[in-house]
């Protein structure tokens, strides 16, 4: 099947790399046009060069409401509408609670949770008015699985899952679906550090029953399902794409990385 997103218009935060970029590739291949939003201008240029006229780019910080509003307005001005969104911008951190600098903790919460809230807010306004739309928020298995040293990330992603449920309730009567994806360990630029510390990557793979790290296209396939008509009766749920890793203990990274 092809052309599942023919005529659709999307915005993708974190769209210059990793899961966001792979979603952009799949969406364009299925007939969509998209605004790719990211804070890295050089990587946005590379994505634009790869995907051509089907995409335009915006340099944004998802913690800035003005930036997010500009991203959504660009989709409407450039392509005439907005009916699809993937909120993938985010990053992690590491620090034990008793020693964690609060500014670093807040930075993760601001990007990973507040940034998703702002994105949904402004995407929903356009979709609500049009009476249709599909939004996918990228959470994590850490929405439900705790990890030592990752309290900020876990709390942010748990918040994303609950935000998704609340938004689905509020927007459903207007014909707008909201769903989530909870990836397990995925090979992306944000996890590239595990190539430098192989023991960490090995620990993640060992905790994954399917026996390998996930790839961005593993997640993009699930996102495509959710935003397409194939997922037309799915809203409010978070789909965990994790190779069954939620069924095993989370790696004790602070011990694996210890000298």
Q: Is the pLDDT confidence value at 209 over 60?
A: yes
pTM, entire model: 0.96
* Distances, alpha carbon 187 to alpha carbons 19, 58, 156, 191, in Å: 9, 25, 21, 6
- Residue 197 pLDDT: 78
pLDDT band at 259 (very low <50, low <70, confident <90, very high): low
The one catalytic residue in 153, 185, 240, 250 is 153
Instruction: Indicate if 153 belongs to the active site.
Output: yes
Domain boundaries of the chain, sorted by first residue = 9-187+215-243
- Residue 206 pLDDT: 95
Among the listed residues 180, 249, 184, the one whose alpha carbon sits nearest the alpha carbon of residue 218: 184
Residues β-bridged to residue 12: 36, 86
pLDDT band at 23 (very low <50, low <70, confident <90, very high): very high
Q: Is the pLDDT confidence value at 1 over 60?
A: no
d(CA 24, CA 18): 10
Asked whether 135 and 125 are in contact (CB, 8 A), the reply is no
Between these two residues, 56 and 2, which has the higher pLDDT value? 56
d(CA 188, CA 22): 10
Helices (H), the chain: 18-29, 41-51, 65-79, 102-109, 115-130, 151-171, 193-196, 198-206, 216-227, 253-256
The pLDDT tens digits of the residues spanning 189-203 come to: 878 777 767 888 899
d(CA 169, CA 87): 18
pLDDT band at 257 (very low <50, low <70, confident <90, very high): low
pLDDT band at 256 (very low <50, low <70, confident <90, very high): confident
C-alpha dihedral (13, 154, 227, 77), degrees to nearest 10: -20
Between these two residues, 92 and 255, which has the higher pLDDT value? 92
Instruction: Give the three-class secondary structure for 102.
Output: helix
pLDDT band at 258 (very low <50, low <70, confident <90, very high): low
Q: Is the pLDDT confidence value at 240 over 60?
A: yes
The pLDDT tens digits of the residues spanning 112-153 come to: 999 999 999 999 999 999 999 999 999 999 999 999 999 999
- Residue 10 pLDDT: 98
- Residue 74 pLDDT: 98
The pLDDT tens digits of the residues spanning 214-227 come to: 999 999 999 999 99
CATH code: domain 9-187+215-243 is 3.40.50.720
Between these two residues, 194 and 184, which has the higher pLDDT value? 184
């Amino acid at each position: 099947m092809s052309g599942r997103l023919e005529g659709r218009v999307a915005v993708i935060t974190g769209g210059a790399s990793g899961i966001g970029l792979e979603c952009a590739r799949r969406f364009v291949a299925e007939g969509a046009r998209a605004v790719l939003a990211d804070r890295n201008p050089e990587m946005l240029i590379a994505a634009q060069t790869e995907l051509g006229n089907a995409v335009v780019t915006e340099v944004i910080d998802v913690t800035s409401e003005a930036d997010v509003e500009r991203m959504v307005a660009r989709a409407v001005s450039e392509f005439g509408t907005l009916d699809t969104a993937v909120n993938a911008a985010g990053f992690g951190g590491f620090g034990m609670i008793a020693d964690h600098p609060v500014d670093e903790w807040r930075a993760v919460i601001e990007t990973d949770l507040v940034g998703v809230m702002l994105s949904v807010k402004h995407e929903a306004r356009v979709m609500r008015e049009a009476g249709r739309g599909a939004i996918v928020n990228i959470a994590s298995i850490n929405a439900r699985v705790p990890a030592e040293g990752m309290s900020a990330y876990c709390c942010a992603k748990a918040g994303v899952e609950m935000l998704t449920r609340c938004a689905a309730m509020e927007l459903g009567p207007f014909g707008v679906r909201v769903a989530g994806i909870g990836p397990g360990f995925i090979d992306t630029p944000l996890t590239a550090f595990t190539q430098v510390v192989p023991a960490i990557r090995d620990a993640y793979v060992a905790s994954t029953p399917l026996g390998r790290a996930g790839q961005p296209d593993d997640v993009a396939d699930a996102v495509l399902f959710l935003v397409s008509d194939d997922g037309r009766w799915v809203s409010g749920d978070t789909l965990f794409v994790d190779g069954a890793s939620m069924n095993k203990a989370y790696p004790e990274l602070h011990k694996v990385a210890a000298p």
